[in-house]
Structure 1
Amino acid sequence: MCEGNNNPALYPDGTPCPTVMLEADLVRFLRLRELGIERPENTLRYYRDKGLLSATKLGGRNCYTLESAMDFLRSMTGKKKRA
């Protein structure tokens, strides 16, 4: 469930989102491909490198909690592009 909300987090197709996501899950949750991003893995790496997205290494793979994904979305909401 989203923090402070009784509605579960869902993928675009309505499937409940897992609490711990692999990169492919996060790409789906954030709808990066639907936004036309050709290399979403690079986009996630960019946000990790900038310290805007938190990942946890499990078995050598980047994993993301639903909470960290929601924190990322909150931090990006209202940000303006810098020239």
Structure 2
Amino acid sequence: MKKVRYNQIHLTSMVRIMTDACISVGFITLISAMLCTILYPFGNTEKIGSFAYMVLCTGMVFLIIEAYFTKPKK
């Protein structure tokens, strides 16, 4: 029982770290893409923006998984 609980806590902490990393990287990439769009109007920013949105969506998926796992069991 304790071992299973420890594994679940370990999994949720890993998911939380992944969520924080994905969201922070996504926001940083999104801000850099916005700055590139402002500074260089004819630059190739579509790929940067799509990558940022992909990373942000991955972070949101990890957030949903974390919320599902940390849900109190009845």
So what's the TM-score if we normalise by structure 2? 0.27
Q: Which has the larger radius of gyration?
A: 2
Question: Which structure dedicates a bigger proportion of its chain to helix?
Answer: 2
Q: Which has the higher contact order (CA 8 A, sep 6+)?
A: 2
So what's the TM-score if we normalise by structure 1? 0.25
Question: Which structure dedicates a bigger proportion of its chain to strand?
Answer: 1
